[in-house]
A and B are shown apart, each in its own frame.
Chain A
Amino acid sequence: MSDNLNLPRRKALKKIGAGMALGASGLLSAPAFAQNKPLKIGVIAPRGGIAGTAGEGGIRAMEWSVAKLNAMNGIGGRKIELVIQEETSPKETIDRYRKLVLQDRVDAVHGVISSGVSLALAPAAEQSQMLTLLWDGTTQDGVKEMMPNPKYVFRAIDNEVDAVMSSLLAIRHFKGSMVRVAGINADYTYGRNTWTTFTAILKKFGIAHEVVTEQWVKVGTMDLTSNVATLKTAKPDVIFTSMLFADLPVFMRQAHNVGLTENCKFVMPAAGWQQTAMKKEFTPEGVVFGHSTMYFDNPAASPLQKEFVRWYADKYKDYPHWESDRAYFCLQLYKAGVERALAAKSGSWPSSIEIAMAMPGLKVESLGGPASMRADHIANQLIFQGLTTHKNAYDFPTLASVETMSTEQIQKPAGADFWQWLESTKFKV
């Protein structure tokens, strides 16, 4: 859990490591030697900027999980040590990734939230043969070009899955009153893809509708009054927004303040990241609200999730969102992979490729529920969404009832192209 090593320590450790290798070669057997050396996991996550809160959520979950694992002998008998690096732009993050690989010599890298960074990182990971588990950042475009057949890189569920589920829920609950449809989304690949997903699904189910306006917002902008005014003029019945950064609560507040929330329904697949900032004062009831792979207040939550939420609320006076689940899932998956590979090697520590080959097909218990890794290195998890309610003890809305879907139903299968699959597959509302 310590932050990165600095130069003198690194040199000292090198000497110690060399000495240990000499000593171990003749006298000690491999597992005992390995147990002396901590298992270093590099973590790359944003700590500031627009995705800072997301990164914090993931890092905190990792720290909690690592503390619990280390109290019980770590992974495969080795204590876990986290080396945390900040995720910023692709160019800078690649340099830090190389630092983790070459200088800190970590055993695996977890993290990454932005799609741009993951697209730059994945080829680097494959080339460095470094086992890399991505928490997020899985928007479709460019994936095929950059990550054709990953061996070392494992990805989270497709980002568009949340939009698929929200669209289905919107049809189920708002059918009949979805004539005038508007969208306000962040002006980047994720925003565009989710909006296209929504309109494609509406068309698929033959919902007669008219797109009255499409707003494209610069990511992270804090003044949406002009966009809100334009939306109000268009008089929509339903507004779809996949905004998920600090701009979402700003939008909601400004929309409420001009009365847009009175007669309009909202569909917000990714609002869970901002759940505690979406105060009851301006976030209406009865809107589709997505929490992706973890909903902190799920009555059907496992004891594990409840314990985590309690710990998080006590320590940080806040409630965790799904990034915590993604981080936890990757750590559990990694642990399971290591254990499976260890068993196959009966004693000696497995190499990265051996662990990587052990991970597909594994099922683990994540915070949000059961989760698994597909053969094509994409995860399968449960998604939690629902309509909002104000009947709770918090100052922000929660879900009136939780609807759960599995990515096995709403995520593209291995090898498929997202857009072709979207068009051809049959969904159940």
Chain B
Amino acid sequence: MKTLLLVLLSALVPSSLYAQGAAPDTLVKTVTLEVVELIAKDRDIKSGNRAKLISLIDEKVLPHFNFEAMTQLAMGQSWRKAAPEQKKRLVSEFKTLLVRTYASALSAYSDQKFDFRPLRAKPSDTDVTVQVRVLQQGAQAVPIDYSMEKTTAGWKVYDVMVGGVSLVANYRTEFNNVVRDSGIDGLIKSLDSKNRSLEAAKK
């Protein structure tokens, strides 16, 4: 009886709200396919318009990432040493860097075929791994694993593993080295100058 009620209720929920409650694997599939299709159709992006690609990612992909969690995990123990204002800067600089990186990854792999694996998780789980595989001719498929956490605003990605390489873990040594040598402000500065140089290289 309760399920029936839920089914009836969910039918009344507008579709935009429905996306928020979507299962994590469905979410990854829908967003990936939508973005890849938009890129394939867009002549500007195909011919190398970075700004347009980044704004597409901003709009479609970013809402599903938890950048604060990603920054925190990448910082490890140094996170606690940062003041609230520094934390805010770190998250925003790291976000800019990740979006750029994601943009180049997408343009490198967008014409490949994807294999969306069925989710192996219990309905009650709040921390899951969604597995996608990028298929390529004559080589082993590359697994992409999205670590996702259930929040009040829907499922959010907090790490991406490509071919067994965790993006967040990979930044950890780099971040710790910079923090050790030049402190939290040094890290903010070096992220900022990295972002600026990428910005400049684009033009």
Report if A and B associate in a common complex: no
